[in-house]
Chain A
Amino acid sequence: MSQANDHPNINPLREGLSTRAVPQPCSVVIFGATGDLTHRKLIPALYNLAADGDLPPAVAVVGFARREKTDGDFRKELEESTRKFSRQPVRDEIWNTFAQAVYYHQSDFSDEAGYKSLAERLDKIDTERGTRGNRLFYFAVAPDQFEPIVKHLKAAGLNEACEGSWARVIVEKPFGTDLASARELNRVVRSSFSEEQTYRIDHFLGKETAQNILVLRFANAIFEPLWNARYLDHVQITASETLGVEGRAGYYEGAGALRDMVQNHLLQLLCLIAMEPPTDLSADSIRDEKVKVVRSLRRMTKEDVAINALRGQYAEGAINGKPVVGYRAEQNVDPKSITETYVALRLFIDNWRWSDVPIYLRVGKRLPKSGTEISIHFKKAPLVLFNKEATTLDQNVLVIRIQPDEGISLRMQAKMPGTSFRIEPVKMDFHYGTSFGKASPEAYERLLLDAMSGDATLFARRDEVEEAWLFIDPIEQAWHSKKDAPPLCFYPSGSWGPEEADELLAREGRIWRRL
C-alpha cells in the first residue's frame, strides 16, 4: 500500500506529492560570489525556488570571493540584485528567512587557509541549519581559476563527503577553448571530483522548450516515423540576438560565436533533435544517446570548412531604428579583430537516420530579431496531383521555438476557398504562453534543483564536451590558419548576416527560414 519500510531510502510521505527527484538539504558554495552570474541568475534562482517552496528549508548559501565584506553587506547587495532580477516580486518575509542562511566567506582563491576556514564554517552550518554535510560547489569563475580552487578544495577534504552525504561541483561554460584545453579542464576537475560529482551547466538545457523536445519526439507517435532521412529535407537551427558584444569584449574577443554558442548550446539542441530514443530517462541513458550524435557528426577538412562553414562579423548599422557601431568599434575590441560574431554551418550526421540530411546552424549577434528556434523541413509532397501552372507546393515545416514566445508550429498546405484550386501554406500554432498561464521557472532554477537532487540529465558529460570540441576544432583551425584561411565576411548590424551565408543554402535550392 505505501512505500514505508519497503524502500529504506524513500520517504513514504513524498508519495504523490511530486514527480521529480527531491532536492536534498545542502550548502551551496559559490566561487565568484560577487560576480554578475551570482547576482543576476544564481541568487534570484535560489530565492524563487525558496518562494515557491521547492527548496528544502535546510539550504545554506556561502559566497566565496576575494573582496572584503561582511555577511550583512553581502546579503544587502544580493537583496538589491534579487529585487531587480527575480522573475517574481521579492517578499520581505521570505527574503529575510532566505537571507539568514546566506553567508560570505572572504578568501583569495589560492589561499589554502581560506579553504580550511571554509570547511570549518560548513561544518558549523551543518550543525546550525541541518544541511547534513552535503556540499554543492558552484564555479561561477573563469576557467583559469578552476585549478587552484579544485586543488585547495581537495586539500581541505571538501571534495569528498562523509558517509551518507555528497559533494558535487557545478562548472559553468566555457568548457575549454578547444579539445586540448577542455581535456585539461576535465583533468583538473577530475583530480578532485569524479565524473558523477561533476555537473557541467548549459542553461539552454534548462529551458522548458528544450526539455519539451524529447516529449514532442517520443511522447507523440505521429512525428517519430517521419523523423528520418526518408521524409526530412533538412533541419535549421537558429540562435539570433539583437545585442552586440555588450560588456563581454574581454571574453568574446578570445572566444567568438563558434566557441561561445555553437560548441555548447547549438550542439546540445542538435543532440536533442537528432538522438535516438533512450532506453529510459536516466541521466546516462539520455547522455549516451546524445554523445552518439556528436560522435556521428561528419568532421570537416580544411576544404570542407571553406565550403560548409562561414564566419561573419557585424559592421555598423541599425537595430530597431537605432544606429549601432560595428564590432571593431566596440569598447575593448581590437580595431583589427577577426573574431566572428556570426557563424553559419552546413553539417551532416553520418548515421542511418540522418544520412545525407543537411543540418544548417546559424548564430549571430546584431541580427534584426532575437530568437532561438529549430525548424524541421519535410520533403515536398510529390507533385503528381497539384503540378499545375502557378501551383508551387511548399514544404511542411515543424518549428520548435526555444525563446522567446516558446511554442511549436506546423506549416502545412491548404486549399484556398473558391472555385479555383489554389494552395497556400497555413500554420497551426501552439504557444506555451497562451495555453499555459503558469510561467515556467528560469533555467537556472531547474538546473540548481537538479544538481541538489543528483539528477545530471540536463548537464553535459565529459565525453559530450570533448566530442563537441573534436568537431569544432578543425573549423577553428581552418579559420585561423595562416595560409588560405576562409575569409571573414562582414554584415551590417540589423541584417540577417552576410550574403555569403545565404549562398550556403541557395546552392541546394534552399533558403534560411524567416524568423
Chain B
Amino acid sequence: MPATAENYSPGLSVEVAKIDKELKKLWAQNEGALTRASLINLAVYSEAPGSLDKNTQLISKIARDHACRAIVIGADRNATENRVEAWISAHCHVSRAGTKQICSEQLSFLLEGPCANLLPSIVFSHLDSDLPLHLWWQGEFHDPMDPQLWAWVDRLIYDSHDWENFDAQMRLVETAQHEAKERVVLCDLNWTRLDKLRFAVAQFFDHPASHHHFGTIESARIDFAPGFRSTAVLLAGWLGAQLNWKIETAKRGNNFTFADANGRKIDITLNERDGEPVSQIVLTSKGIEFVVSHAKGADLFEVWRGKAGEKCTHQLMPAGNNDPVMLVSDELNRGGPHRVYLHAINCVRELL
C-alpha cells in the first residue's frame, strides 16, 4: 500500500478535482486496520527546490506527536508554464497504547507558474472542517501578502532566522496580522529556539529572594553561532522587555547597552563562536554570575550561579535542539498567544 507506507515521497498521484474521492478510497481500503486522527490543519509552504520530499519527511515525524491534516505545498512562482500536481499519502504509526495504527493524512501540491497564486484556493478547499489552520511559511514572505490567505490562518509559523531583511519582513507579517484583525498568532521558530534557554534563565529568579538581582544586573554575555545573531538579539530583547530596559545605543554591532528605568546601564555583549545557535548566556549581578551553558554534544544545559571562578553546583536542564521537527513540535505543543515575543521584538527591533 504505497500511499500509507513510511516513505518520504508525496505519495499517490491524484487529480486535484478528485482528491476527496481518492482520500475516501484510501481510508476505505484500510478500514479497521487504521485510525485517522486530526487535531489541526497544518499547511506547509515552500518555494525551495525539492521541498515536497523534504517537508514530507518533516511531516511524517511531526505527525507522530501531532495528529493533523497536512497540506504540503511546493511552489515555483518563476516558472513560465502553469502546472498543478497533487498527491495524497498517510503517515501512520503505532499508538502509545500499542494496539492501533494512527494515521495523519497528507495532501501535497506542486504549483508552478502564475497558478502559484492559487494558494488560498488550494488550501481552503482542502481544510479539515472546524479544525484550526496552522500555516508554516518557509523562507521569505512576498510583498504584498495575500489578505485572503491570512483571514483564515490561526497561527502563522515562520523562522525569522531565514530572513535577510528582518525589518521589512516583520512589517509584512505585522500588516498581515493587522489585516486579519490581530486574530493570527505569530509563531517565530527563531523565538521557539530560545524557549528552553529562557526557561533555564528564568528559573534562577523564581524565588522572591533573588528578585533584587533584577535591579542590579550589570551585564549579559551571549554566545551565538555564525548565522544566529538574530537569535541572540531576540534573547537580549526578551530580557530588556521583561525587565523594562530600553535600548540606549542602537547600533547593529555586537555590543550595545540597555538602560533601566533609573538610567542604570546594562552592557550586552554578543559573542560569535561555533556551536549551538545560542550556546551560552552569562548574566552578572553584584559579582554573581548566572550561567546557562549548552553541554557539549548533548541536548542539555548546564546551569549554575555563583561568584566567578568559585566552584558551585552545576545542574542539568533540557536544552532541546535546532531540529525543525522539534521546533515545530514545541510550537504546536505550546498554543496560546505570543505577547512576550512581540514585546521582545519591539525592544530590539532596530538591532535585528
Contact = CB atoms under 8 A, between A and B. Distances in A.
A439 B64 CA distance: 12
B46 interface: no
Nearest to B298: A93
A2 B243 contact: yes
A80 to B, nearest CB: 21
A418 interface: no
A439 B195 contact: no
A405 interface: yes
A53 B102 contact: no
Interface in B197-233: 198-203, 205-209, 211, 214
Nearest to B201: A13
A53 B318 contact: yes
Interface in B23-40: 35, 37, 39
Contacts, number: 117
B315 A433 contact: no
Given A11-B202, A433-B95, A434-B37, A1 B241 contact: yes
Contacts of B238: 13
Contacts of A509: none
A439 B336 CA distance: 20
Task: Classify the secondary structure of A's interface with B.
Answer: loop
Contacts of A220: none
B67 A435 contact: yes
Contacts of A5: 214, 244, 261
A100 B199 CA distance: 22
A379 to B, nearest CB: 28
B95 A56 contact: no
Nearest to B241: A2
Nearest to A57: B315
A258 B261 CA distance: 62
Contact of A11 (B200, B211, B313): B211
Contact of A17 (B95, B195, B343): B195
B314 A97 contact: yes
B244 A2 contact: yes
A13 B242 contact: yes
Given A8-B208, A15-B340, A53-B196, A434 B100 contact: yes
Contacts of B110: none
A434 B102 CA distance: 6
A428 to B, nearest CB: 13
Contact of B209 (A132, A405, A433): A132
A8 B65 contact: no
B14 interface: no
Interface stretch (A19-27, A30-38, A266-274): A19-27
A57 B66 contact: no
A56 B305 CA distance: 13
Contact of A2 (B66, B102, B203, B343): B343
A3 B211 CA distance: 12
B95 A434 contact: yes
A51 interface: yes
Interface string B151-166: 0000000000000000
Contacts of B314: 97
Nearest to A14: B202
13 contacts: A1-B241, A2-B242, A3-B242, A4-B244, A5-B261, A9-B211, A16-B336, A17-B202, A25-B206, A53-B318, A97-B315, A128-B313, A431-B97
**Shortest beta-carbon contacts, A-B, top 7:** A57-B315, A437-B65, A16-B340, A13-B202, A53-B318, A12-B242, A433-B96
Given A1-B244, A2-B244, A22-B206, 7 more contacts: A16-B340, A17-B198, A24-B206, A25-B207, A93-B300, A132-B209, A438-B65
